[in-house]
Structure 1
Amino acid sequence: MSDISVVVLVDTRGPPRETILCKREHRIMYVDLRSWVMVQAAKVNDVVMETSATVRVPVPCTDLNPLNLLEEAMPRIGQLPDGVSVVYDAKSHAHAFQFMQGVADVQFPAAQIFQRCGYFPEEFSIFFILKHGRKYENEECIVNIRDIDRTSISISITNSNIIFIYDSQPVKFRNYVFRDNNWHTVGFSVTGNTVSMTTDCLNIRRKRLKRQFPSFLMVSNSTIHIASCRSRKSALKGMLKDLLLIPGADAATKACPPRVPRHIHHDNNLPMFPDFGGLDTPGPKWEDCTWMSVGNLAFDLYSQSLKVCINGIWKQISIRLAAQAKKKLDYLEAYQNIETMGPSIDVELFSIPGEGLFSVFANSGGNSETHHRKKSVSGLYQWADKKFRLYQKLTTDEAQSWCSFWIGNQFYLAVANYGLNPTHGTNSTIFRWHRRRKKFRVHQDILTWTARDFEYFQNDDDHFLVVANHAKGSTQEVDSIIYKWNKREKKFKEHQAIPTVGAYDWTYFTVDSYQFLAVAQAFNGLSTMIDSRIFLRQGDQFIQFQTMETNGATDWEFFKIGQEYFLVVANAYNYGPQNFKSINTYRTNSTIYKLNIQKKVFERFQSIATDSAIDWEHFTVGDNNYIIVSNAQNGDDEENNNSLIYRWQGMDKFVLVHKMAILPSADWEVFQDGDDMYMIYANPKGKISQVLKVKYA
């Protein structure tokens, strides 16, 4: 860039506007310093002429409504382009567009939808629903937005990849879905420097996108091409049902139910979807929602809501969430007692499409008179008719915690077994859901050492499982292992060993594009006052990022409120030289840390007195954020015989709002059924765990 000067363009209709004018290769670039928008003018002479007119600068598209690009391109059946027809798929009762070989280019000017703006939305999602089962001889195009000489946005498929192009830069995802001649929903979401691909609401893969943010991608003079983008050889041969452009942040978060209800997205207050079955609303009639179309996504332009097929019912979540935001937690009431196989240290919630919601308890001891000689049993329960009912008994060995996850279209459950003999190690087990038998079957055993916890996480197409090994024989110093999924063998293999001391819990979380693992370390053989640690991923390894002094740490919980990131630790026991009189050993302070972005460190934010805290759980009701702490050892002090709920109150930090005199609790989970919210906890001292129901104000 050369010959840069600051000039003032005088607008006779208003105050002066300060603008940087840059001359480059006989072209002028105007940069509006107020809106930070840049636009390229036509070629001009080297001499810049004075003018009194204000340059009209295109603005980003921020006020668009969700659009069905297929309807924009083909608004009337009678005017379909040559080679395009509407077909009926009898198998799934759906109408869709079929594109024949040599189809004429289906296109329309971008100005048709970008009427008051010239730049593509900086954050957006594009969803399409496609059925394709043939082999791909060439790259087949879904949509392409381009001007004369460059591509702005493009989506295409090949036999091996689904390709997303942003500003002529391709990002490739492996094509696992379009091979079975069934309907599949695929969505691409762009935010910041990340592009996410969501397939059938089950699998989300993320990759880095090389772009400056904001990128000001000009589309005012572009053309939107559908199904046949560059040549007739690239024509789409499948059946395309919907092609949706949704401006704003990740619409997949709003459209798809969480695979495990405990992992509520902290950026929003979305519950599971309210029931939409049977409501008579204006707009198009929807095809049947059957088990074959589970996960299919559609957008109703009339009600402006996204709908997803779940368990035979079309369920929706409105883009306008004002009604949900008004809800407030008033109190909780006892709803159901669950008789478990024994004392429960952990409870895990998860959903399987077509089967519903499940809970599985980590039961240790108390369920066999000879449990010191035989393995124990943990109970799996299914949510049916608004109750949890015993569904399957799973063989475990002094189970400590459960972890559920998807790999491709397979669902797994991993249990961390403590075992009965820490000297010889114990097998922890990974179970896989058998679709035909509708039961869990053993898939893989992993040798662990008094395992306390499993944590699953994913990085692009790679899947990982990390175990918290607590002790080995008489020493608490033992490596905890990160395992990586071997795609060829379909097994987890050891990937990285991390030295830990009395490890009790692993928590995976991300901040922007950075990935972290936090380990709670409980005991070093002499004292519970030891450091817990946070690790940062660099390359394919995790390195130490920060240490925090904790006191018998058993759990980390990560959550986000607005633009602030928090970590809270559950400190369970105060033993060692710091408490040589052994007074109130269960009474400790648990600490909330807040991330200082500038310093790149988690700082102490608030301390809360707890009684053998085993678990923290963050949840939202409407616009309100809450954290609940489990008190596993209530002791003889009746005043402390409570589990406590704290509400975020800004400058007041977290304020105690509810004391619940319930059974001892070791783990809390929150789930939604329609408009109803429930909380479930595991009882570590007895065979009765409970479900509580949230009552709204």
Structure 2
Amino acid sequence: MSSLIFVQLLLLGLRVISTTTDTWRHCTDIFPLDLLSFVLERDTSKLAPGVHMKQAGEMRGVHFSSPHSSLSFPSSQVLANCDLFPKEFSVVVTLRVSHLAQKRNEYILSLIGPKTEEKSTLNDYGDLLESNKKRSATAGEQRGKTRRNKERKVKSNEERGRIILGLRLSKKCLHFLFKGHGGVVEHWVFRGTKLADNQWHTLVLTITREYVSLTVDCQAPVQIVPTRPFPSDLNIQGSRFHIGNRGRWKGLFSGMLRQLVLVPGMDVSHQICPSPNSQPATLSVPPLLLDLPVKKKEGDSHPTSYEKEERVSVGLERSCSELLQGQLWFNPLKKGLYLCDGSEWITVLEDHKRLDYVMEHQVLTTSSETHDVEVFQVPGMGLMAAMAHRSKASGSAVYLWTHAQFSLYQNISTHEALAWRHFYIGKKIFLVVSNSGGGPYNRLNKELENEFSVIYKWSKKRKQFVRFQSLQTYCARDWEAFVINRQTYLAVANHRQGMAILRSNQNLCIKILHFSLWFVFQVITITL
């Protein structure tokens, strides 16, 4: 009995975990997120502490001298309205590294979890270490070796701390770290990437469900097929991005960064490669780094001046200052293009807001495909709606507005109905349906293949529509009622055959044939 209760509780716990996971919000934004701009453009009048702008060749970049708190920001600022990291994404980095020590690892980017997670993780590792020590106290030499290996692994994990995701550079390798299944930090290594040559390089790291690829300077990509894909449930609640570090001095990036862009949901290597010029490929460079020196011409004695490179920065928020004068900014949410005049952004193009006053009120489930809806008023009953259904078996239906919604009121036999039309003759209410398919009359006379549309009359006694008259039509598509000299007429749009005018009050049937490329009309006079 106790084992049965345990199994039930276990299944209930798994169900709760599954339900909780389903309620987590995935990131659906697909526009580029310029992470470097979030650090540089907090205050455009001055650089953040620990950040220095440097010139290398004809390109500018930033150098970090300390892991200042201004180099980090909450992940919710860029990955808004989502709790889980994107399943697939690309990271675009433009960097320049002059020298790296043999055993030195430097972080280009890291995503660090909240402090509470660090404490619980360290406690778990501590419990694991203590448990291993107790078990190994009575073990032999082989178990002692296993214990030492586990201690090294625990120590390594403790050094990584609360890292959720990171991009790390060593002398000959590029490492991508992430918190995998069970909270264990896993890493994929791209070997042979010698980037410490004092040159500018652009890296495109692409993570998909099938493969992981690294493209360096638009050359042939290096692919890795991991044994386990990147986790789809990587929780980032309360986490922070750190640019050029992992929140501490150890691992501080010593090179220069010019571009650091996160693109959720897509591979951008084909968009930025090949580069249109000899410069490294770019996707989104912060405006502060776009000023390039103009080379002096021969015989030019004027001092070197500076000019703006014509580029458009992409992001949700940008501040305008004198340093950004003449720069363009595109806001993907507002779908607007703006120009900085030195103090504020001037609108160049902006998508006008579309006001939507229509809200979903009710969903009606019909028996088959519905081609037309006719809404009308019946005195003493209220608002009604006749719906033309395609199915011959279930026919069409009339709905009545009651208790603030439409409810099924009456089923009417139709044959591939395409349209309904209501009309009045005096105080009497009628409904006419366009039957495009054969009805029971076809079975009686298959040679003629007659098709009949039907007029229904509202019966006050029965409080429903009853059959009033059948009219021969030819794949009727639509009806229209109108009055001329107090006489009610009906016009039907037939898909084939000719146009006929019928006048029943004189017992005459005058048929005039007129062929047309599209539709022909038949006018029928009805008198009571």
TM-score by length of 1: 0.31
Q: Which has the higher contact order (CA 8 A, sep 6+)?
A: 2
Q: Which structure: larger Rg?
A: 2
Higher helix share: 2
